[in-house]
């Protein structure tokens, strides 16, 4: 019952339908006429009286209850490290609730739905229509006082008072209660959208398979969209707004609060919702069903509590829109920030009965990219991708899954209601994030876990990207500098390792996917992501997995170790640089690419500039250049590309001069590393190197041409970052380090065997004060294929 109900409805005596008997709340005494009245009976005049004082005191405001909430938080936090992060794709039978031990099993037997309070096990429920009646019971007497599950829906709970008249199809909810009552065959279309799974397994109604299965402890953790217990028939909620709360959560919450939690609806926050504007668009049906009716566009203030008892006042209003209304909650920013919600997270609106206090909970998306996804509610398993925990709705200890956990756990929610203080950081974050997760992101159907995977592979992606096999770069000459342009995006290939002899002979090593043996390949070979010995057409003697390896195990280890260390350092340096520069993800990619290119550059004396790593959506100046950018540019060309390149070249030249002057001032560096003169460095660079393929592949391909074409002509890397000299230098240094490591480690032995020269330890100096670096900076040799983010370009422009 909502606070804005008229007093009669809200009295809680007869009409309120919340009868407390022996510590149990029963809501089965509602009158049907009230049910049919629903919200329509609500007078707008009462809307302002949103929260009777008793409500808060009784439900949330009460310190004891609040403690319980916190207790719940703690318990759940402790006991459920990641339970809800796993969506229902995981085996629910292996729910943490079960893992926590049998002592947490509630009287529902194997349902195991109670993990909240060991001493106060909510065992009473009446979930006939999606709401629950719980109570605390003496542990010594845990029992289940279920309402007669055969009780027809004509005996609805309080929750129905706002709902559509009984008997309307949409009112048959796919909860186990309903399922139990209706049997599976009576599933209505409304249910079918959610596959009508038993969502209230605790409702032990023997005789149904559904419940039988549910009782195996699977369903309590099932986050299943529950059709709202109430709602106007006219405004059937779309399944996407069905609240998804596990039985456990409801039981715990309700049980511990001696109240009934009525999940009303939920909504995945859009970028706009989570943005700075502070407007949360309410689903029309939800707004009209669960919020007070408003006739004026200005609307009415609505008080909503969060789980900590903080009370937020939002302006519930609407805008005229296409002969309809668009309902919004205004002023939600503090609340959103308090919950540290972002686009993709889910806010859940529930109601605490008796009292009708609105409770706004939330559920974190497992990943920030898991944003508005229309498919969310209709996942095959009925789960929510961002299956955090509705419990967190009440725990105020948001734990965004994944890497965000710490961020949110560090947040202190001890603030007062409507206190936006201390939320500025979040505000800043939202300022950034909200825009990023924009209209495009909302249609990004990438699942959160996919995103995680992508995130993981993001770093790895550079190892796998290479120019498309069929790509024929277009040579573009700008200011006497040649560029290679690729029309095709890069492709993924199998990771390989390259070795090089001082003579220039290079080898590529690939590992068979089947036998894991390393096979030597021509250096210019581009392998598909999946490759096995049988595909080794270059060495027929080793085209089967049974063929012995060409190198010993130790050599392999050396090879891998060197490669690993190399990459590790490279990434570390890359990240360092990235952190320093605070680039975007794209920048990071570009940075990594630049580093890789630097390495590639160092190995070879000259390559042409190419862009093998450009992906669809790449915003580097090559990718964004107009079609006119293709082909040969005249020196007088004033297109964006040419202008940018010219600027860049100028910048590079300035930096070169600057560095030269610095070097003159700091000769010590040279003194300490006298070996690192130009000659030696060049020799070194042509020495052995162990690299992962991403730079090598391009390098290998470019090598073939570049060694012919090459080094003399100045070639500008469109992707190199003129403002990131350090990065380039680091890249060079990294390359040096990697080379040194490769040499200093047992790779030496390998080198000897395969005839690859090692490098001297003196080159461990990470200062690439070599001519190579200078050459790179000066534009004498520009290679690299890392793409450049737009931001870089902007920076350049600025």
Segment lying near DNA (by CB under 7 A), choices 11-19, 44-52, 271-279, 351-359: 271-279
672 touches DNA (CB under 7 A): no
Segment lying near DNA (by CB under 7 A), choices 128-136, 325-333, 686-694, 724-732: 325-333
Give the three-state DSSP class for 519: strand
Among positions 277, 405, 407, 709, the unique one binding DNA when judged by CB under 7 A: 277
278 touches DNA (CB under 7 A): yes
Distance of CA 31 to the CA centre of its chain: 46
CB of 25: closest distance to DNA in angstroms? 31
The span from the CA of 441 to the CA of 451, in Å, is: 12
438 touches DNA (CB under 7 A): yes
Among positions 271, 335, 681, 688, the unique one binding DNA when judged by CB under 7 A: 271
Helices 585-603, 725-744: crossing angle, 10 deg rounding: 50
Ranges within 443-482 binding DNA (CB under 7 A): 443
Neighbours of 752 (CB within 10 A): 11
Q: Measured from the CB atom, is 103 or 322 closer to DNA?
A: 322
439 touches DNA (CB under 7 A): yes
CB of 48: closest distance to DNA in angstroms? 19
Segment lying near DNA (by CB under 7 A), choices 21-29, 232-240, 356-364, 733-741: 232-240
The answer to whether the CB of 379 falls within 8 A of the CB of 72 is: no
Q: Measured from the CB atom, is 372 or 605 closer to DNA?
A: 372
Among positions 71, 378, 675, 760, the unique one binding DNA when judged by CB under 7 A: 378
285 touches DNA (CB under 7 A): yes
776 touches DNA (CB under 7 A): no
The answer to whether the CB of 526 falls within 8 A of the CB of 492 is: no
Segment lying near DNA (by CB under 7 A), choices 80-88, 282-290, 380-388, 705-713: 282-290
441 touches DNA (CB under 7 A): yes
The answer to whether the CB of 129 falls within 8 A of the CB of 171 is: yes
442 touches DNA (CB under 7 A): yes
Give the three-state DSSP class for 432: helix
On the 0-12 / 13-18 / 19+ scale of CB atoms within 10 A, 154 is exposed
Task: Tell me the sheet residues that pair with 516.
Answer: none
321 touches DNA (CB under 7 A): yes
Segment lying near DNA (by CB under 7 A), choices 35-43, 369-377, 517-525, 600-608: 369-377
Show Cβ contacts of residue 152 under 8 Å, excluding neighbours closer than 6 positions. Answer: 181
372 touches DNA (CB under 7 A): yes
The answer to whether the CB of 177 falls within 8 A of the CB of 149 is: yes
412 touches DNA (CB under 7 A): no
Among positions 103, 296, 322, 470, the unique one binding DNA when judged by CB under 7 A: 322
Give the three-state DSSP class for 313: strand
Task: Tell me the sheet residues that pair with 500.
Answer: 506
The answer to whether the CB of 620 falls within 8 A of the CB of 719 is: yes
**Quick one: three-class SS letters along 55-90?**
HHHHHHCCHHHHHHHHHHHHHHHHHCCCHHHCCCCC
Residue 404 token pair: 């965000």
Among positions 107, 220, 283, 768, the unique one binding DNA when judged by CB under 7 A: 283
CB of 236: closest distance to DNA in angstroms? 6
Among positions 46, 128, 270, 511, the unique one binding DNA when judged by CB under 7 A: 270
Q: Measured from the CB atom, is 201 or 377 closer to DNA?
A: 377
According to DSSP, residue 648 is labeled H
Alpha helices in 14-143 (DSSP H): 32-37, 53-55, 63-79, 96-99
CB of 225: closest distance to DNA in angstroms? 11
659 touches DNA (CB under 7 A): no
Q: Measured from the CB atom, is 121 or 287 closer to DNA?
A: 287
Q: Measured from the CB atom, is 299 or 768 closer to DNA?
A: 299
- The residue with tokens 């009473």 is 124
The answer to whether the CB of 735 falls within 8 A of the CB of 681 is: no
The span from the CA of 285 to the CA of 265, in Å, is: 10
326 touches DNA (CB under 7 A): yes
CB of 581: closest distance to DNA in angstroms? 22
Q: Measured from the CB atom, is 430 or 774 closer to DNA?
A: 430
Q: Measured from the CB atom, is 130 or 283 closer to DNA?
A: 283
- The residue with tokens 């399944």 is 239
The span from the CA of 155 to the CA of 185, in Å, is: 21
Segment lying near DNA (by CB under 7 A), choices 125-133, 314-322, 651-659, 664-672: 314-322
Binding footprint of DNA, residue count (CB under 7 A): 42
Segment lying near DNA (by CB under 7 A), choices 214-222, 283-291, 452-460, 719-727: 283-291
Ranges within 338-367 binding DNA (CB under 7 A): 343
The answer to whether the CB of 113 falls within 8 A of the CB of 247 is: yes
Segment lying near DNA (by CB under 7 A), choices 10-18, 26-34, 438-446, 730-738: 438-446
Q: Measured from the CB atom, is 206 or 296 closer to DNA?
A: 296
Segment lying near DNA (by CB under 7 A), choices 402-410, 432-440, 685-693, 746-754: 432-440
Q: Measured from the CB atom, is 343 or 590 closer to DNA?
A: 343
196 touches DNA (CB under 7 A): no
Helices 585-603, 790-797: crossing angle, 10 deg rounding: 90
CB of 231: closest distance to DNA in angstroms? 12
267 touches DNA (CB under 7 A): yes
CB of 439: closest distance to DNA in angstroms? 3
239 touches DNA (CB under 7 A): yes
Ranges within 294-313 binding DNA (CB under 7 A): 297-298
The span from the CA of 711 to the CA of 11, in Å, is: 87
According to DSSP, residue 547 is labeled S
Between β-strands 279-282 and 357-363, what pairing exists: parallel, antiparallel or unpaired?
unpaired
240 touches DNA (CB under 7 A): yes
The span from the CA of 279 to the CA of 261, in Å, is: 25
Give the three-state DSSP class for 320: strand
CB of 340: closest distance to DNA in angstroms? 18
**Quick one: three-class SS letters along 329-385?**
EECCHHHHHHCCCCECEEEEEEEEECCCEEEEEEECCCCCCCCCCCCHHHCCCCCCC
Among 615, 309, 326, smallest CA distance to 457 is for 615
Q: Measured from the CB atom, is 236 or 574 closer to DNA?
A: 236
Segment lying near DNA (by CB under 7 A), choices 120-128, 435-443, 456-464, 640-648: 435-443
Show Cβ contacts of residue 775 under 8 Å, excluding neighbours closer than 6 positions. Answer: 781
236 touches DNA (CB under 7 A): yes
Show Cβ contacts of residue 90 under 8 Å, excluding neighbours closer than 6 positions. Answer: none
Segment lying near DNA (by CB under 7 A), choices 105-113, 305-313, 411-419, 437-445: 437-445
330 touches DNA (CB under 7 A): yes
Segment lying near DNA (by CB under 7 A), choices 161-169, 320-328, 498-506, 691-699: 320-328
375 touches DNA (CB under 7 A): yes
The answer to whether the CB of 122 falls within 8 A of the CB of 134 is: yes
The answer to whether the CB of 179 falls within 8 A of the CB of 152 is: no
The answer to whether the CB of 126 falls within 8 A of the CB of 27 is: yes
Alpha helices in 471-607 (DSSP H): 553-581, 585-603
405 touches DNA (CB under 7 A): no
Q: Measured from the CB atom, is 344 or 596 closer to DNA?
A: 344
Binding site for DNA (CB under 7 A): 236, 238-241, 267, 270-273, 276-279, 281-286, 297-298, 319-324, 326-327, 330, 343, 372, 374-375, 378, 437-439, 441-443
């Amino acid at each position: 019952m909502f606070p804005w109900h008229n007093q009669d409805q809200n009295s809680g005596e007869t009409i309120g339908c919340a009868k407390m008997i022996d510590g149990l709340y029963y809501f089965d005494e509602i009158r049907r006429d009230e049910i049919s009245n629903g919200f329509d009976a609500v007078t707008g005049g009462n809307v302002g009286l949103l929260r009777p004082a008793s409500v808060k005191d009784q439900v949330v405001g009460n310190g004891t209850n609040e403690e319980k909430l916190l207790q719940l938080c703690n318990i759940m936090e402790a006991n459920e490290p990641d339970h809800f992060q796993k969506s229902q794709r995981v085996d629910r039978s292996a729910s943490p609730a079960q893992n926590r031990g049998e002592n947490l099993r509630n009287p529902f037997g194997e349902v195991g739905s109670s993990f909240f309070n060991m001493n106060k096990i909510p065992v009473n429920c009446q979930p006939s229509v999606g709401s629950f009646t719980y109570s605390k019971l003496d542990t010594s007497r845990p029992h289940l006082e279920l309402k007669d599950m055969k009780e027809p829906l004509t005996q609805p709970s309080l929750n129905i008072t706002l709902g559509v008249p009984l008997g309307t199809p949409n009112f048959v909810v796919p909860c186990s209660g309903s399922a139990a009552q209706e049997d599976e065959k009576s599933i209505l279309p409304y249910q079918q959208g959610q596959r009508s799974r038993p969502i209230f397994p605790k409702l032990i109604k023997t005789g149904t398979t559904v419940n039988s299965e549910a009782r195996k402890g699977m369903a309590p953790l099932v986050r299943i969209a529950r059709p709202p217990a109430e709602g106007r028939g006219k405004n059937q909620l779309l399944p996407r707004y069905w609240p998804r709360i596990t039985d456990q959560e409801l039981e715990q919450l309700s049980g511990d609060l001696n109240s009934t939690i009525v999940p009303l609806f939920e909504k995945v926050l859009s970028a706009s919702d989570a943005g700075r504007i502070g407007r949360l668009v309410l689903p029309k049906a939800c707004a009209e069903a669960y919020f007070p009716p408003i006739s004026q566009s200005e609307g009415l203030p609505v008080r909503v509590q969060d789980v900590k008892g903080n009370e937020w006042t939002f302006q519930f209003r609407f805008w005229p829109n296409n002969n309809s209304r668009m309902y919004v909650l205004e002023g939600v920013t503090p609340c959103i920030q308090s919950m540290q919600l972002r686009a993709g997270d889910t806010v859940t609106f529930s109601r605490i009965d008796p009292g009708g206090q609105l409770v706004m909970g939330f559920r974190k998306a497992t990943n920030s990219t898991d944003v508005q996804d229309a498919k969310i509610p209709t996942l095959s398993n009925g789960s929510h991708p961002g299956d955090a925990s509705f419990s967190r709705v009440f725990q105020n200890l948001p734990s965004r899954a994944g890497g965000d956990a710490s961020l949110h756990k560090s947040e202190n929610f001890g603030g007062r209601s409507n206190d936006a203080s201390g939320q500025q950081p979040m505000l800043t974050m939202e300022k950034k994030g909200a825009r990023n997760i924009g209209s495009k992101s909302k249609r990004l159907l990438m699942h959160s876990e996919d995103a995680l995977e992508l995130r993981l592979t993001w770093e790895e992606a550079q190892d796998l990207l290479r120019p498309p096999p069929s790509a024929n770069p277009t040579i573009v000459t700008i200011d006497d500098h040649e560029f290679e342009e690729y029309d095709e995006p890069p492709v993924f290939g199998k990771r390989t390792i390259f070795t090089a002899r001082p003579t220039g002979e290079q080898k590529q090593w690939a590992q068979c996917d089947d036998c894991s043996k390393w096979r030597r390949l021509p250096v210019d070979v581009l392998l598909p992501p999946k490759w096995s010995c049988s595909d080794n057409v270059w060495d027929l003697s080793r085209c089967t997995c049974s063929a012995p390896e060409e190198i010993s195990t130790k050599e392999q280890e050396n090879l891998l170790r060197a490669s690993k260390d190399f990459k590790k350092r490279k990434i570390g340096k890359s990240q360092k640089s990235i952190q320093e520069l605070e680039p975007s993800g794209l920048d990071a990619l570009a940075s990594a690419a630049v580093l890789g290119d630097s390495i590639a550059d160092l190995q070879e004396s000259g390559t042409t500039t190419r862009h093998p790593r450009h992906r669809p959506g790449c915003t580097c100046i090559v990718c964004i250049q107009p079609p006119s950018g293709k082909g040969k540019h005249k020196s007088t060309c004033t297109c964006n590309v040419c202008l940018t390149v010219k600027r860049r070249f100028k910048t590079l030249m300035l930096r070169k001069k600057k560095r030269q002057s610095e070097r003159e001032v700091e000769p010590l560096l040279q003194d300490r590393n006298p070996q690192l003169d130009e000659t030696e460095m060049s020799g070194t660079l042509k020495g052995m190197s162990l690299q992962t393929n991403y730079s090598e592949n391009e390098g290998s391909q470019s090598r073939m041409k570049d060694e012919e074409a090459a080094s003399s002509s100045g070639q500008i890397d469109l992707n190199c970052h003129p403002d990131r000299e350090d990065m380039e230098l680091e890249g060079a240094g990294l390359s040096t380090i990697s080379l040194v490591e490769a040499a200093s480690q047992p790779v030496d032995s390998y080198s000897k065997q395969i005839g690859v020269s090692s490098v001297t330890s003196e080159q461990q100096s990470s200062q690439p004060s070599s001519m190579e670096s200078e050459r790179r900076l000066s534009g004498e040799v520009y290679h690299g294929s890392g793409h450049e983010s737009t931001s870089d370009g902007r920076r350049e422009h600025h």
